[in-house]
Amino acid sequence: MEPRSTPDETPSPYLPPRPSGDPGPQDRQEDHHDDGPAPRRRVAGWVVVAAVAALVLLGALLVPWLQSSSRTAPTPEASVSRNPSPGVDGIVARAVPAAQQVPGDCLTDFEDIESASTVVECEKAHQAQLIARKTWPESASFPEGGMRGPAEEFCGQVPLTGSPQAQVRIEISHPNQATWEEGDRRVDCVAHALQGTLTASLVETPVVEPSPTPSASASPTPSASPSPSDG
């Protein structure tokens, strides 16, 4: 399963406002085919330049880069085993599907947030890291404004530990209405180095939020059908 979004009139306090006239990610979504499996929306978030030993909150960043794309939801795959004692190459597991990646995983052979990657120890050179994941409850209804806002708010609050001269883009994967109706509740936040590689973890502790109860969740609430752009 995998990408999803509707722009808010008032920008989230954790995100920089989108420039006037700039089309939102949903405006650039590719057409879906009725005869294919439901797509999941990916939102490539904002670009940051991390500093050495700095603790950076994404809400304080000033250089936004928002885009989205749709992908065909992958078929279920067999569980990939992990090496508890990696060798000198630091490889923990190869070809790990996105749904089997664990928050904190450092990734090589990275193509995009929806694709399988090789998991390595974080001190080894890598291109990306799954920094956070949140799962909404099965009982929750798809929010009226779509999942983009709640997903960006969640990922936007994840603090990053700096990496020297690393330009990082935050990519966000979240459900659209079609995948939500199929049981998709997962939001993933991946930090991706645009140039070069990373050689350390970007988070002291990856953020993992289990399914909150509807009353405790400040994000999705029962609602009417979303706008067509979220489908």
pLDDT tens for residues 188-222?
A: 999 999 888 999 999 999 999 984 444 444 444 44
In the numeric block, which tokens belong to residue 202? 């970007």
Tokens of 99: 């749904």
- Report the half-sphere exposure of 109 (CA within 13 A, side-chain side): 13
Structural domain count of the chain? 1
| Residue predicted with more confidence, 38 or 68 | 38
| Helix or strand run (H / E) with residue 92 | strand 91-96
Residue 4, domain member (yes or no): no
- Give the pair of three-digit tokens for residue 143: 């929010």
Tokens found for residue 208: 């993992």
Angle at 213 between CA 209 and CA 217, to 5 degrees: 70
Q: Tell me, yes or no, whether 218 lies in a domain.
A: no
Residue 189 belongs to some domain of the structure: yes
Tokens of 28: 């650039």
Structural domain contains residue 178: yes
Residue 13 within a domain = no
Bridge-based pairing state of the strands 128-135 and 91-96:
unpaired
Q: How far is CA 81 from the centre of its chain?
A: 23
| Mean pLDDT, rounded, for 12-18 | 40
Query: Is the residue at 231 inside a domain?
Result: no
Per-residue model confidence as pLDDT tens digits over 123-180:
999 999 999 999 999 999 999 999 999 999 999 999 998 665 678 999 999 999 999 9
Q: Is residue 62 part of a domain?
A: yes
Place of tokens 């994967």: 173
Give the domain extent around 111.
38-73+88-212
Contact 51, 162 (CB under 8 A): yes
pLDDT at 203: 94
Q: Decide if 106 is inside a domain.
A: yes
Q: What is the pLDDT, as a whole number, of residue 161?
A: 85
Contact 2, 42 (CB under 8 A): yes
List 72's β-bridge partners, or say none: 39
Give the whole-angstrom CA distance, residue 91 versus residue 83: 8
Indicate the length of the chain as a whole number: 231
| Residues 4 and 25 sit within 8 Å (Cβ to Cβ) | no
